[in-house]
Amino acid sequence: MDRLGRRSRGGHFPLAARRSREYCFFIQYLAGRCRDGQHDQEPPPRLFHQNPDLLHCRGSRRHRCLGAHRTDPQEQLKSCLQRFSRTRTYSMPKLPLLDPKLDVIFKRLFAEAPDLLADLINAVRSDEPPIVELQVLNPQIAPEELTGKFIVLDILARDLTGQLFNIEMQTRNHAGWPSRSLYYLARNLGRQLQGGEGYHQVQPVIGIHLMDFDLFGEAQACWAFELRDRQRPEVRLDRSLQLHLIELPKADRLHSQAGSALADWVAYLKHWQEDNLMQSIESPAVQKARERLQALSADDEAQRLAFVRERALRDEVTEKAEAEAKGRAEGRAEGEAIGQAKGQANTLRRQLQIKFGELPDALEQRLQTASEAELTAWAERVLFAEGLEQVFSG
């Protein structure tokens, strides 16, 4: 069994599981003796042969706890358990951690802790003035968002200067993703002004998208896009729209941000299950994120939300794969039908040319656009027709 109680492939129990079984066996044995009034009897030798960890209770003065004295059975049981617990430390198996890259967990991690969100934003935009305080504008998760298809649970936040930040965790690279990202940024920009307000009140909208896939082929993992001139990139038109893209696999693979705060967050998001690596990260924000993830992983409601969300994403992937497979099958069938019709038209053209000579352009056009039924009827007529008019009549 593994740490969760499942038997291992070789049939043996891990050390923690064996100790837990020994402990339970010992408790059951003592409780049974106390219940049956047999606390003054020597325990069977096989108890110790099969459970070497209990040998510390035999011999010298410790042998008293197994029947050498005549105390109350309940007191005897209590005394033995105390002795056993002092010599052995038993730890409960750790619960598996939820994936912080799952958008519902990512949103709960950062939307419920704006200080962590600010630290992440500052790590991505390390060349900009740091964000001191953030207000999360959409902290809630609607039920329909969990099961909706092609929905990404994003975080929308505003800092003290009025800048809007849209933070997303992307795990799937689907068609139209760049256009979709720009559309939502532009929509957040357009929603700022009410009737009668001037354009000078528009605040920048900054997108930060963490992607668990490689988007570009270049050896660069962190990207920052703005409105700049194509010929002279140093000339910037405006900062109203900004989009930061972080390719997490590439950033982790290239160690392009080594030694920076962003490198700590990349390591956390890619290696959250590796205790040794996580403990080596000195960032207080990342350590707090670890603690929050452990708490969420032990929360029944968070586990349920994660399960519902993962199921919806799997359904989305399955439906997409089925649609693509159906489209390929229909395309093959259509291609085969077109190929068959084209072959039939070529055969008929050859027969007509042998019997009547070169065909006029109008008849060539009719052959190219004819249906399968028309080609079949013309092929039958050519055998007995004395002229082209008889073949193509009707």
Query: Where residue 146 falls among pLDDT bands split at 50, 70, 90?
Result: confident
> Which of 249, 280, 298 marks a domain boundary?
298
pLDDT above 60 for 274: yes
- Domain-embedded: residue 345: yes
Same domain, 128 and 210: yes
Residue 387 vs residue 30, higher pLDDT? 387
The side-by-side arrangement of strands in the sheet containing 134-136 is 134-136, 155-159, 164-170, 205-211, 236-247, 222-228
Same domain, 259 and 115: yes
Expressed as residue numbers, the domain containing 82 is 15-87
Q: How many domains does the chain contain in total?
A: 3
Same domain, 80 and 124: no
Query: In which element (H, E) is residue 343 found?
Result: helix 300-356
Residue 79 vs residue 110, higher pLDDT? 110
Same domain, 250 and 135: yes
Same domain, 175 and 37: no
* Bridge partners for 347 per DSSP: none
Same domain, 36 and 146: no
* Statement: the pTM of the whole predicted model exceeds 0.75: no
Q: List the single range of 70-74, 360-364, 375-379, 388-392 with lowest mean pLDDT.
A: 70-74
- Domain-embedded: residue 306: no
Query: Where residue 72 falls among pLDDT bands split at 50, 70, 90?
Result: low
Query: Where residue 294 falls among pLDDT bands split at 50, 70, 90?
Result: very high
d(CA 27, CA 24): 5
**What tens digit of pLDDT does each residue of 320-334 get?**
667 667 766 666 766
- Domain-embedded: residue 236: yes
Q: Is 31 helix (H, G, I), strand (E, B) or coil?
A: helix
- Domain-embedded: residue 7: no
- Domain-embedded: residue 201: yes
For the chain, state the CA radius of gyration.
36
Burial 32-64 (b: 16+ CB within 10 A, else e): ebbeeeebeeebeeebbeebebbeebeeeeeee
